[in-house]
Amino acid sequence: MRFLKQAMVLLIVMSTLPVMAADEIVVYSARNEQLIKPLFDAYTAETGTPIKFITDKEGPLLEKLKAEGANTPADLLITVDAGNLWLAAKEGVLAQVNSKALKTNIPAHLRDPDNRWFGLSVRARTIVYSTARVKPSQLSTYEALGDTKWKGRLCLRTSKKVYNQSLVAMMIARLGEAKTEKVVTSWVANLATDPFPDDTKLMEAIAAGQCDVGIVNTYYYGRLKQKQPEAPIALFWPNQKDRGVHVNVSGAGVTAHAKHREAAVKFLEWLSSKKAQNLFADENLEYPANPKIKPHASVAAWGKFKQDTINVSKAGSLQAQAVMLMDRAGYK
């Protein structure tokens, strides 16, 4: 009887051993499965480290991490938008990572000043215009979209989308709150129609002639052009003479209670390396965060541009201010 008990205890202990010993990584991802699965497969093929993951929206994932606390199985959080990464860091679910490789590969403005998260791909939010009714020489800056010459010709996506909240937050950081509010108010005065629910609808409206200019993330433009190469729209890089184009990131951070911290850091370093950067960015027509890596040929064809090098974490710390500013300006 006693022997049986001992044997059972031994069996139970042994059955947990391989789980603890295996160098697997558990990832919570707000980035779509079809965008991250190829990366995981490539990493597992290269290193033998299995990767488990779940995908969800960023809000539920953050709440899950907070609720699980020290018991979380997650080692790495992957999410989009610097505002979301900033919030995860502020809520204390991400741990500092001091890695030379990450600091070398990822420019300072694309990662947390305290190194709790790192941008892995760059998405530029820029001006899109109708090639039928607008000459690029008529365009200059985000602010200039408030000129009266664009009255009834501007289309914007809803201010509820975090990409626009980040854009306005960065403008507050650069221009100050009063100036930014004037700019946003002048945009609202120029709107051709109510704000759109997504960037694609906005570009379709420009192509159909409802409006002439708008602001979109470049990869939506890339996707639309893949489907409709003849669509009469093109991208314009604004503010090239001053601060540069507003950029945001999708990125990742190691969780505060990671059970496989070392493996997770290694994986994060690999994600910033040459091998992974193209896999990470190209699938979604984004720009690699590592400046040494060239973007996908069809992305590179949109031309080189100067990006705003203010730290993207500002998108988080100024987000509440930005939302309130847009409410006051009547930007729905």
Partner 1 sequence: MSATAENMRQAPPAETGIAAWLDVNVRLWRMASFAVAGVVAAPILVIALAWLTPAGDVWRHLVHTVLGELLRHTAVLMLGVGVGVFVLGAGLAWLIAMCEFPGRRFFDWALMLPLAMPAYVLAFVAVALLDFSGPVQGAWRALFGRAAWFPPIRSAGGVIGVMVLAFYPYVYMLARAAFLAHGRRMLETGRVCGLTPWAAFARVALPMGARHWSPVWRWR
Binding site for partner 1 (CB under 8 A): 193-194, 201, 204-205, 207-210, 324, 327-328
Closer to partner 1 by Cβ: residue 294 or 332: 332
Closer to partner 1 by Cβ: residue 52 or 66: 66
What's the min distance (Å) between Cβ of 284 and partner 1? Answer: 23
What's the min distance (Å) between Cβ of 318 and partner 1? Answer: 15
Residues in the chain, total: 332
Closer to partner 1 by Cβ: residue 193 or 226: 193
What's the min distance (Å) between Cβ of 209 and partner 1? Answer: 7
CA distance 185 to 148: 12
| Residue 217, beta-bridge partner list | 125
Q: In degrees rounded to 5, what are phi and psi of residue 75? A: -105, -25
Q: What is the 3-state secondary structure (H, E, C) of 148-180?
A: HHHCCCEECECCCCHHHHHHHHHHHHHHCHHHH
Closer to partner 1 by Cβ: residue 194 or 262: 194
Residue of 178, 133, 123 lying closest to 155 (CA atoms): 133
Residue of 223, 220, 279, 274 lying closest to 248 (CA atoms): 220
What's the min distance (Å) between Cβ of 204 and partner 1? Answer: 4
Alpha helices, DSSP H, located in 228-260: none
Cα radius of gyration rounded to whole Å, the chain: 22
Residue of 29, 30, 32 lying closest to 75 (CA atoms): 29
How is residue 141 written in tokens? 């800056």
Side-chain-side CA neighbours of residue 151 (13 Å)? 2
C-beta of residue 38 within 8 angstroms of C-beta of residue 283: yes
Closer to partner 1 by Cβ: residue 186 or 248: 186
What's the min distance (Å) between Cβ of 194 and partner 1? Answer: 6
What's the min distance (Å) between Cβ of 307 and partner 1? Answer: 30
What's the min distance (Å) between Cβ of 82 and partner 1? Answer: 22
Closer to partner 1 by Cβ: residue 37 or 133: 133
What's the min distance (Å) between Cβ of 168 and partner 1? Answer: 15
What's the min distance (Å) between Cβ of 126 and partner 1? Answer: 21
SS3 category, 331: coil
Closer to partner 1 by Cβ: residue 95 or 233: 233
> Burial level of 241, CB count in 10 A (0-12/13-18/19+)?
exposed
C-beta of residue 84 within 8 angstroms of C-beta of residue 58: yes
Q: In degrees rounded to 5, what are phi and psi of residue 245? A: -75, 140
Closer to partner 1 by Cβ: residue 76 or 207: 207
Residues 6+ apart with CB under 8 A from 131: 232, 233, 234
Closer to partner 1 by Cβ: residue 168 or 247: 168
